[in-house]
């Protein structure tokens, strides 16, 4: 578990923002990931929300030099196994279930489980998780909520995701218990549809510069 946590931390420390991607068109996955990596965002979460998501994970994991490919929206052990099989190096879930924790024990790929209350975070701590996702961040209490957890739940680190943008990312990134944030704003649907990879690299560079 300690080794898995260290591997996860090394991925999350690569950058201040983990792009959360919903890939509709498989052909966009590789150029989009290349554009993000060019802007400095190497760890990329591809959510299992579309029919092409697993193929997108496989393509990015195989073809995009410098990318660390993760899978998001992992809701059950079948998703977990399929994402690992496709090449995902880290696995993200909006929440946590006992089945998912068992699946995480069965695979080498690190797990970033979701929590949105003090009790959920405490259950994950009791299971040995010191790093977790805080989702949906803005709706569940925002940066003020996470700040309030930092003293009672000392030692737990969060990757808040949900409603975060360039404007409010620093509210989270300046907290001692935040390791990085997640967000879709670095890959807007219109720029992806237009194939504006230079525009996406620019957004990624701006995101990367947040903590420079």
Does 72 bind ligand CC(=O)C(=O)O (CB under 6 A)? Our answer is yes
Does 94 bind ligand CC(=O)C(=O)O (CB under 6 A)? Our answer is yes
Q: What is the DSSP string of 106-133?
A: H-SSEEE-EE-SHHHHHHHHHTT--EEE
Answer yes or no: 133 catalytic.
yes
| Residue 113 and residue 95 in contact, taking contact as beta carbons nearer than 8 Å | yes
Does 163 bind ligand G3H (CB under 6 A)? Our answer is yes
Q: Which is nearer to ligand G3H, 46 or 109 (CB)?
A: 46
What is the C-alpha to C-alpha distance for residues 18 and 27, in angstroms, rounded to an integer? 21
CA angle 171, 157, 3 (to 5 degrees): 145
What is the C-alpha to C-alpha distance for residues 94 and 190, in angstroms, rounded to an integer? 25
Does 20 bind ligand CC(=O)C(=O)O (CB under 6 A)? Our answer is yes
Binding residue for ligand G3H (CB under 6 A) from 164, 178, 192, 208?
Answer: 164
| Residue 74 and residue 48 in contact, taking contact as beta carbons nearer than 8 Å | yes
Which of 4, 42, 58, 133 is an active site residue?
133
Does 184 bind ligand G3H (CB under 6 A)? Our answer is yes
Answer yes or no: 45 catalytic.
yes
Binding residue for ligand CC(=O)C(=O)O (CB under 6 A) from 59, 88, 92, 179?
Answer: 92
Does 150 bind ligand G3H (CB under 6 A)? Our answer is no
| Residue 167: other Cβ atoms inside 10 A | 8
- Residues in touch with ligand CC(=O)C(=O)O (CB under 6 A): 20, 47, 72-73, 92-94, 135, 161, 182
């Amino acid at each position: 578990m300690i080794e898995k946590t260290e591997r996860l931390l090394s991925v999350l420390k690569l950058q201040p923002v983990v792009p959360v991607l919903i890939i509709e068109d498989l052909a966009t996955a590789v150029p989009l990931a290349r554009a993000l990596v060019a802007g400095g965002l190497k760890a990329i979460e591809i959510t299992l929300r579309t029919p092409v998501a697993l193929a997108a994970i496989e393509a990015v994991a195989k073809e995009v030099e410098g990318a660390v490919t993760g899978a998001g929206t992992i809701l059950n052990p079948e998703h977990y196994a399929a994402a690992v099989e496709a090449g995902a190096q880290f696995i993200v879930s909006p929440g946590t279930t006992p089945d998912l924790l068992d699946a995480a024990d069965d695979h080498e790929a690190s797990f970033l489980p979701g929590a949105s209350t003090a009790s959920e975070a405490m259950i994950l701590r009791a299971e040995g998780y010191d790093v977790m996702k805080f989702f949906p961040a803005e709706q569940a209490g925002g940066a003020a909520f996470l700040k309030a957890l930092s003293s009672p739940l000392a030692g737990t680190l969060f990757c808040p995701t949900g409603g975060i943008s360039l404007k409010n990312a620093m509210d989270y990134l300046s907290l001692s218990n935040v390791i990085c944030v997640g967000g879709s704003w670095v890959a807007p649907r219109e720029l992806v549809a237009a194939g504006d990879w230079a525009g996406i690299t620019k957004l990624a560079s701006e995101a990367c510069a947040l903590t420079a």
